[in-house]
Homo-oligomer: A and B are copies of this chain.
Amino acid sequence: MTAPLTREACAALDRDDPLAFARDRFDLPEGVIYLDGNSLGALPRATADALAQQTQEAWGRGLIRSWNSAGWIDAPLRVGARIARLIGAGADEVVVTDSTSVNLFKLASAAVALRPGRRVILSEPGNFPTDLYMLQGLCAQLGGAVELKCVPRDRIAEALDETVAVLVLTHVHYTSGEVFDMAGLTARAQAAGALTLWDLSHSTGALPMDLTGAGADLAVGCGYKYLNGGPGAPAFAYVARRHQDGLRQPLSGWMGHAAPFAFVDDYQPAAGIGRVLCGTPSVLAMTALDCGVATFDGVEMAQVRAKSMSLSGLFLDLLEARLPGVFQLVSPRNAADRGSHVSLAHPDGYPIMAALIADGVIGDFRAPDRLRFGFTPLYLSHTDVFDAVEILVRIMREERWRDRRFAVRQAVT
C-alpha cells in the first residue's frame, strides 16, 4: 500500500469510505481518538434506549411475564444467530452465554470427552492468559488424566499427534495481532484425529471468518471487544452442527436442559447448541450485546477487513515516517498477517501510553512493554489515525511522558 501521509490525503480516503455511515451508530466522546475498541468497544447510540426500555418496560411493567412476552428466554439463541453471520457459522451453531473463560472450560471439557484416550490439550505459550488458566484448572480437576502442553506457534503443526485431544488457540493473538491459519491448522489437527477449539475474541467483528468452510469444530468469543456489547458483555460459544448431538459439557445447568421448566431431577441436554447454556443469563447484559452486534447490520466483514488494513497500515506508515526507530513493531508488518490491532514495544511503554491517554488518544498497555492500538473500522477514520500519530509525535519529541504523574500505575493497565 502506498499510504497518503498528509491529513488532506486521509480526508480524501475518508470521503470514499463505504463504512463512513457506521460512525453515526456510535456515541463517541468529544476530544477523544479511541484506539482501544479491541479491548472495550465504544457505546452504540441505540444501547441506552434499549436498556431503558428493557428496564422500565419489560422488567418494570412486564415483570416475570417478560420471559415470554419480551422474548427474554430466546435471547441467547437469537443473539447467537446474529453473531453467526459475522463468523461464517450456521445460525443454529452459536449461542450467547456466560463469559469467554467459562465457555472455554465447557468446550475444552467436551472436547476431551469426545476424544477418550488422548491425554494432551495443545496450546501455545503466551496465549491469552485466561485461556491457559482455564485449561490448567481443567487439567487439575481431571487429576492428571489430561495435561496442557504448550509449544511455540511454529512447532504446533508437528506437535499434533495421536496424543492430542484438542488444539486450543486464539485466532488473533491478543498482543501481537498475529493471525493463525484457521483452515490449515484445523485440517492438520483433524488429520491427527484431534479437535480444534478457537478463541475468536480478537477476531470477531475484526476480520472475516469462515468457520463452516474451515471445518472448525468448536469456538468461543468475546462480546465486549469489536462486538461493542459493553463492559463484561456475555460471550458466545460455537459448536459445529455435527458435534452438537454428542456434546456433553460439565456445566450442565438448567437453561441447557431439554425441558428446564419440567423441574425434573435428572439432567437431559437440550437438542442442539442450547445444551451449552448453563444458568439464567443476564437480560440487561444480553440487551446491550444485541445492540452492539446490530452495529454490524448491513456491513460486510470484507469491507471491515479492507478498512482495518488501510487504517493500521496508515498508522505504521506514519510512524515509520515521523518516528523512525523509536518503537519496535511487535505485530506483523504485512497487514494480511495481523488482526485489527497493532502492538509496539518500548521500554517506557507505560508512561508513554499514560501520556497519550491524557492527551485524548486512548490505547492500552500490556505488560511488560507493549503499547496496543486497535483500529475499529466502524467508528474510526483515516484522519483520526493521522491526528493520533501527530499527538504521539508531540509526546515523544517533547518527552511529555516523563512527567511523574504518568508513572503511577492503575489497577487495570
Q: Which residues of A contact B (CB under 8 A)?
A: 27, 29, 32, 34, 36, 39-40, 42-43, 47-48, 51-52, 55-56, 59-61, 63-68, 72-74, 98-102, 105, 109, 125-127, 129-130, 132-134, 136-138, 140-143, 145, 150, 224, 230-235, 248-255, 257, 260-267, 278-286, 288, 357, 362, 364, 366-367, 410-413
Contact = CB atoms under 8 A, between A and B. Distances in A.
B265 A129 contact: yes
A71 to B, nearest CB: 9
A145 B100 CA distance: 28
Contacts of A132: 265-267
A188 to B, nearest CB: 24
A412 B66 CA distance: 9
B282 A101 contact: no
A133 B257 contact: yes
A101 B253 CA distance: 6
Given A43-B60, A64-B362, A253-B99, A224 B55 contact: no
A377 to B, nearest CB: 17
Given A282-B231, A367-B262, A412-B67, A102 B253 contact: yes
A389 to B, nearest CB: 20
Given A60-B29, A99-B98, A284-B285, A141 B140 contact: no
Contacts of A133: 252-254, 257, 267
A68 to B, nearest CB: 4
A234 B264 contact: no
A361 to B, nearest CB: 12
A101 B98 CA distance: 11
A282 B283 contact: no
A251 B65 contact: no
A55 B66 contact: no
Contacts of A101: 251, 253-255, 278-279
A220 to B, nearest CB: 10
23 contacts: A29-B63, A36-B63, A40-B59, A40-B63, A40-B64, A42-B60, A43-B55, A43-B59, A48-B55, A51-B284, A52-B52, A59-B230, A65-B362, A68-B410, A98-B98, A99-B280, A132-B265, A137-B249, A137-B250, A230-B282, A231-B282, A232-B279, A232-B282
A406 to B, nearest CB: 14
A196 to B, nearest CB: 21
A327 B64 CA distance: 23
B100 A130 contact: no
A374 B384 CA distance: 55
B73 A411 contact: yes
B412 A283 contact: no
B43 A251 contact: no
A48 B60 CA distance: 10
A250 B60 contact: no
Contacts of A73: 411-412
B263 A367 contact: yes
A314 to B, nearest CB: 22
Contact of A67 (B98, B143, B231, B279): B231
A280 B134 CA distance: 13
Nearest to A45: B60
A65 B55 CA distance: 26
Return the 3 tightest CB-CB contacts between A and B, nearest first.
A99-B279, A101-B253, A101-B279
B99 A264 contact: no
Contacts of A410: 68
Contact of A250 (B100, B140, B235): B140
A110 to B, nearest CB: 10
Contact of A141 (B142, B278, B279): B142
B129 A264 contact: yes
